[in-house]
Structure 1
Amino acid sequence: MRLRLLGLLMLSVAMGAVQAGNRQRELDYANGLQQSAGQSGGVWLTSGGQPFFALFTEAEKTDNSRAVIVLHDMGEHPDQQPVVHGLRIVLPQHGWTTVSIQLPLREMGASREDYYGLFDEARGRIQAGADYLRNRGAKNIALVGYGMGAAMAAYTLSQDSKGLDALATISLPLPDSALPQAQIGEFIKNIALPFLDVYAEFDLPEVADTARQRRMLGKDNPVYRQIRINGENHAYRHDPMMLIKRIYSWLALSLGPN
């Protein structure tokens, strides 16, 4: 099955599939993750007729009824260190099944502006991840997105929040762009779900400098909360467990303990 899906993905690379990003980069990441020592939980999902890779981790000591879709930052992969890797393996220790999905990519060196054209493709993948989790028994599903993954999550919820129960964003930017997919401020105003907005003290300018603006945009949502992680920058390498603890503690408060 894995070889067949790899073959399908390679075929889509050769054919230059419509609406696709850089599928060769995705294939390289998938191959690397599957060959990593001790790597397990690799699954292939499908959206828009195209296969994409994900890492699935079941919750410990409980069923799979509470689940999280983990979304990596721009140009990265489903086991991005330290944030995404930490989320996908630590959340299951606290009763949350995770599926960390490969988001669509552009070529190396592409700008943030280049990624906005991939948001609809990302939305399809998020929906496919939610379907996969529901088929595994999930009843409550949260999105946890990092950087560009956070922006893709906000866009997805702006289009259709059905079947999704909460949103935690890590380093969510408010970009200076006229593109419709980049209107993150408008998306924030329309999100009525439990919403955690986490950013680092020394984050990217489009994140740290817009923190108050995001807070004001979320003021009409009674379950919006913003947290600043002091002493960290966008990479959260000083103490990533502090960030992850804030996420699973908030999930338990917002959607109830397992």
Structure 2
Amino acid sequence: MRLAIAFCGVCLAFSALAGDPAREQAYADAIQQQPAIGEAIWLQTGEGGRFLALFVDAEKSANEQVVIILHDADGHPDQQPLIRELRTVLPRHRWASLAIQLPLREAGAALEDYYPLVGEADARIQAAIDHAIKIGAKQIAMVGYGIGAAMAAARLSRNPANVVAFAAISLPVPDSSQAGVQTLSFVKNINLPLLDVYAEADWPDVTETAAKRRVAGKENPVYRQIRIDGDDHAYRQNYPLLVKRVYSWLATTIMENQQ
């Protein structure tokens, strides 16, 4: 596997509560020992944090469209089946993919332990956007999954600069007072095209809040919600269908907004 080191500076401050660099490195080592699917690169935040990302060139374009992919809690940028499917299939449909490693907590950490890492994730998202622009991206989209979707929503509600669309997969609405996971407020404030996809048997804080998310997004004329029937949060049954929904929506949304 080719290993290119890219450094992207950012000026954003992030949470003092850091993740688990040792777990991130273990994932990075395992990923780089596997046969190449794309290119492993290292990005860096303005605070000096270095993290792995996996880049796949678009097959039918000059990488002018780049999608940044954010994995779920306790995951990594080549997590199977969904993240790998997204990052390898979207490039067949004109979108180069940049799947990034989000901050992790220790093994066995509860979901709520990830909430304070939103600030650290924000710095990584900025580094990914900077890198996409550096390689010539004219349009940047985001696809987030689970906690990755919540982290993307937090970012885009505050700063949507340089992002043209956001697909949120299994976007949770935690019962928490922590500022970083006020999902309904984030959805209400996002004016970008927003695809809200969830599974029929998803996490309770996804399925039970679907109607609330629709209400939060009602002022956004380009908000759409889709339920994937016959599957749960892992999407092991219908992940090809889910990925098709994402690239079809991106193609339609970008085309309509260019007219």
TM-score (norm 2): 0.91
3-state DSSP of counterpart to 2:44: strand
* Matches of 2:181 and 2:187, distance apart in 1: 12
Distance 1:106 1:86, change over 3 A: same
Find the counterpart in structure 1 of residue 129 from structure 2: 130
What is the 5 A alignment of 1:57-68? 57-68=56-67
Distance 1:243 1:217, change over 3 A: same
What is the 5 A alignment of 1:1-258? 19-47=17-45, 48-256=47-255
* Matches of 2:86 and 2:114, distance apart in 1: 23
* Contact 1:57-1:89 within 8 A present in 2 as well: yes
3-state DSSP of counterpart to 1:256: helix
Shift of 1:116: 1.1
Deviation string for 1:122-145 (max 9, x for gaps)? 011011101111111101101100
* Contact 1:146-1:171 within 8 A present in 2 as well: yes
How many residues are paired up?
A: 247
- Paired letter, 2:86: L
- Paired letter, 2:156: L
Shift of 1:164: 1.0
3-state DSSP of counterpart to 2:99: strand
Deviation string for 1:22-44 (max 9, x for gaps)? 00000000000001123441000
Deviation string for 1:103-126 (max 9, x for gaps)? 000001111211111101101101
3-state DSSP of counterpart to 1:222: coil
- Unmatched segments (≥5 aa) in structure 2: 7-14
* Contact 2:69-2:143 within 8 A present in 1 as well: yes
Shift of 1:165: 1.1
Which region of structure 1 is more displaced relative to structure 2, 113-122 or 86-95?
113-122
Which region of structure 1 is more displaced relative to structure 2, 248-257 or 52-61?
248-257
* Matches of 2:62 and 2:4, distance apart in 1: 30
Find the counterpart in structure 2 of residue 13 from structure 1: none
* Matches of 1:51 and 1:110, distance apart in 2: 22
* Matches of 1:192 and 1:18, distance apart in 2: 29
- Paired letter, 1:148: I
Deviation string for 1:216-242 (max 9, x for gaps)? 110010000000001110011112110
* Matches of 1:35 and 1:131, distance apart in 2: 27
* Matches of 1:119 and 1:179, distance apart in 2: 10
Find the counterpart in structure 1 of residue 10 from structure 2: none
Q: Identity percentage over the alignment?
A: 52
* Matches of 1:18 and 1:73, distance apart in 2: 21
* Matches of 2:28 and 2:154, distance apart in 1: 25
* Contact 2:5-2:43 within 8 A present in 1 as well: no
Deviation string for 1:158-186 (max 9, x for gaps)? 22111111110000001000111111110
* Matches of 2:144 and 2:135, distance apart in 1: 21
* Contact 1:147-1:173 within 8 A present in 2 as well: yes
- Paired letter, 1:73: D
TM-score (norm 1): 0.92
Is the helix fraction higher in 1 or 2?
1
How much is the aligned-residue C-alpha RMSD, in angstroms? Answer: 1.9
Consecutive aligned runs of 4 or more in structure 1 exceeding 4 Å deviation: 1-5
- Unmatched segments (≥5 aa) in structure 1: 6-16
Find the counterpart in structure 2 of residue 8 from structure 1: none
* Contact 2:71-2:148 within 8 A present in 1 as well: yes
3-state DSSP of counterpart to 1:225: strand
* Matches of 2:23 and 2:32, distance apart in 1: 14
